[in-house]
Structure 1
Amino acid sequence: MPGTYSARLTVGDAPSQTRSFEVRGDPRIPVAETDFAANGRFLESVFGAIVGLRDGLNDIRDVRSQVNAVTGQASEAGLSGAETLQAAGAVLADSITALEDRLFQKRRAAQQDMVAYEGLLNMQLTSLMGEVDGSDLPPRAGVLERWNDLEAEWAVEEAALVRVLGEMLDEFNQLARDSGVPAVIMRGRPRAVS
């Protein structure tokens, strides 16, 4: 974003040095300040969705791992209610896997896989961000239209994340406590549907 900025450099015990500098837009492109602002708002919105999706994936993967551990402990200990807990754990783990499969293409391991397997929501958002990032021009109409589609898709999937990490996990945890095994600890942040 064009403007005047300052940078401070500190090395070891030496006194800090601060310098101001100006960032200018591409002089070949006549762009208004409002275009830069629109570009920045767009990138912040898309990046926010990407971060939310990534954090959600990390959270559900962690929860699935813990669910598998808890159900294994209950089963190994032969606790009463272990079968019910295992069934609830399987439902929760399956819901997590289904959600993960809608958000992230797990089969992409090599460059040629980009063609072989469909890009899911995470890749579509990243690609969309790449259409605008680094450009001095505001987002084009087609990019904004695609963002509206992806934003609506993300809202649905974010609500599914909230359900899995809220209601479904709470039900599982109650069964775990009733069976005498530790509950799953949600290490992530509290979630709210945006």
Structure 2
Amino acid sequence: MDIVLALLGLLVSAPFLAACMVAIRSGSKGPAIFRQTRVGLDERPFECLKLRTMYIGTADLPTHQVNRDAVTPLGKWLRRLKLDELPQLWNVLKGEMSFVGPRPCLPSQTALVLARRERGLAAIRPGITGVSQVAGIDMSDPQKLAENDAKYLGNMSLAHDIRLIWITFVGGGRGDHVAS
């Protein structure tokens, strides 16, 4: 189901995605697509795609550790509307991500990787959205994040996934925030 929905999502959003990419390129130097190594299924690394919302040269850190002034003016808008996540549909299509699951972290976030491993979360694909994102829990507290993400394991169902996707789509949850 992830693959079919991702393919449909990419086809439907392609013109809008292309317009966003042109706007990103005209607003700041660098590529429109941001690529970053993240931790995936079974803790295997994969290249996560997003629309670039920060200036080139921003440190490769978890979002909650990046200064707010690193975000471009257009990036603020893209992040607020969660449009920066659209390229992750390609990651879903490739089988690296799912629509719902724990948000993929950086390999350098070792405390979070360990906390998720201890709770069996390495055995599921990371998601574009998830219970912690909808709850507004960012990645600054690895134990709290892993504990909340683990709740998903006990409630995994198509109905629950649809509910989480809908809540995300209508603007629920705040996800990861840049530092002040």
**Structures share fold, TM-score greater than 0.5:** no
Please identify the structure whose Cα radius of gyration is greater. 1
Structure 1 or 2: more helix by fraction? 1
- Structure with bigger RCO (C-alpha 8 Å, 6+ apart): 1
Normalising to structure 1: TM-score of the pair? 0.24
Normalising to structure 2: TM-score of the pair? 0.25
